[in-house]
A = this chain, B = another copy of it.
């Protein structure tokens, strides 16, 4: 399904009205079921849906984890399970069905509430250990590439973009009407593709709230870079968890809010 739709609108330009056609971002309800019971309902851009379901479950802590990042202990059960997630496209909404005999880990999903979205509670986040050091030049180049890619996608002006990259290039790019969803799509993709996170960077178009920081930390990503501003709580979490947080990257300028030692001039 497409991430945008054409609709008729009325434009006001040069002091007069005219009818025209325009692109707007698609938004769909994604309902997640386990054993015919609805466990989550999200509003999202209808792309990378399986990645979103997996990423949401992982980063919201609906899967129990044991190690420094969720990949350590959840890997075996979820990768087994994810192959059998069924996605049904309906007219008005999308249904994702988890296998009924999913492993125990997946079953903890059902302890959530119907039509509710569980946000990250004030739980302990891991400390990130990574020897990654990246040059300013690399950061600026990657972000220029990210910005170029975003413009291609941004005909509607209504989505947030997120990318995962290594020091050379963008590995995966996601867009969503929700900042959280876009990050979850990236995390779900990386998990399904078994991508090691300890030497990766997360690039974002949107603001850095505590929830975005938590998702990156749980996924084990040591550097996050955004065009937009962080909140004080996001900075606090980043500092405690030892990740590098960069914000307000515009042109050749940016701010480093935590762990500046990973960025070398």
Measured CB to CB, the residues of A under 8 A from B are 4-5, 7, 9-13, 15-17, 22, 24-29, 41-43, 92-93, 112-113, 115-119, 121-122, 136, 156-158, 177-178, 207, 209-211, 228-235, 248, 252-257, 260, 263, 265
Q: Return chain B residues, CB-CB under 8 Å to A229.
A: 24-25, 156-158
Tell me, in angstroms, the Cα distance from A194 to B190 when the chains sit together.
50
- Can you show 15 pairs from A to B with CB atoms below 8 A apart? A7-B235, A10-B256, A10-B257, A11-B255, A12-B255, A24-B230, A24-B231, A25-B231, A26-B233, A29-B122, A43-B210, A113-B116, A115-B119, A157-B228, A158-B230
Q: Return chain B residues, CB-CB under 8 Å to A157.
A: 228-229, 248
Contacts A177-B207, A253-B12; is A233 near B27 (CB within 8 Å)? yes
Q: Which of B12, B248, B263 is the one whose CB lies under 8 Å from A136?
A: B12
Closest to A264 in B: B17
B209 and A43 contacting across the interface, CB-CB below 8 Å: yes
Q: A17-B265, A29-B122, A43-B119 provided; 16 other pairs, C-beta below 8 A? A: A12-B136, A12-B252, A12-B263, A15-B136, A24-B231, A25-B231, A27-B210, A93-B122, A112-B113, A113-B116, A115-B121, A116-B116, A116-B117, A116-B119, A117-B117, A117-B119
CB of A201 to closest CB in B, whole Å: 15
Q: Return chain B residues, CB-CB under 8 Å to A12.
A: 136, 252-256, 263
Q: How many copies does the complex hold?
A: 2
Q: Which of B26, B112, B121 is the one whose CB lies under 8 Å from A231?
A: B26
Q: Return chain B residues, CB-CB under 8 Å to A16.
A: 265
Contacts A156-B229, A229-B24; is A118 near B119 (CB within 8 Å)? no
CB of A151 to closest CB in B, whole Å: 14
CB of A108 to closest CB in B, whole Å: 14
Closest to A234 in B: B27
